[in-house]
Amino acid sequence: MNLVVDIGNTRIKLAIFENQKLIIDEKITSVIFLSKIKEMFEAFPKIENAIISSVRKLDKEPAILALFCKVHVLAHTSKAPFKNSYATPQTLGVDRIALVTAAFYKNPRKNTLVIDAGTCITYDIINDYGEYLGGAISPGLAMRYKALHNQTDGLPLLEPNELLDFVGNTTESSMHSGVINGLTNEVDGVIEQYKLRFKDLTVILTGGDAHFFGKRLKNSIFANSKFLLEGLNYLLEYNKS
């Protein structure tokens, strides 16, 4: 059994895999990390290996996990199954490495664009030769609402809401249109750009806001909320040898 730990900007995701099959996954806060890890190892004593992926500076998490099993901390120096043509691999986020790894294994030898709709929107392309080329990073849904509020004196802080019409007739509905309609059109536009360059493109949408955008996009996509966790498990297996 493998334990996957994905430390994001706001939450920690824990997942247990057995023979590449996802058994259980949970979202927790850092406050209960130690108690939850103890609970998981009591419930699943066959866990022998763990991988940690973090988009922020790690604290005590690796040391805590090392009390229970072997630990691999994912970094740009970790082995990856794809050819990495990113010009600055040392700056490539470990979350993006995991997403591309999942695409490499789950959609082999096909042009694949992975869109992760989280705190940021990341776009990552791996071609039909198994070569990672790069992509883009854009502000996510919540970040755009916060920017409108924090960078102005008069605009309120809003939560995402259903967009009744792209023509806003109040300040709040205009903000919703700007964020939701703007971001949806951005994602659709980016997909169209990639389709023009990459033949028979497969598009995979994942991340915390994937459900929000999945039903709004004009383009055909495959939604997979567990894509990052699956990629991390593949990387753990790949780095065991």
Enzyme catalytic residues: 95
Task: Report the DSSP pairing between strands 112-117 and 83-84.
Answer: unpaired
Burial class (CB in 10 A: 0-12, 13-18, 19+), 143: middle
What residue type is assigned to position 97 of the chain? Answer: I
Longest dimension (CA), the chain: 60
Distance CA 215, CA 217 (A): 6
Distance CA 236, CA 2 (A): 8
225 Cβ contact partners less than 8 Å away, ≥ 6 residues apart: 206, 207, 210, 211
Alpha carbon separation from 67 to 4, 46, 70, 71, 237 (Å, rounded): 15, 14, 8, 9, 20
| Contact present, 180 and 144 (Cβ < 8 Å) | no
Distance CA 85, CA 69 (A): 33
Secondary structure element (H or E) that encloses residue 17, with its range: strand 12-18
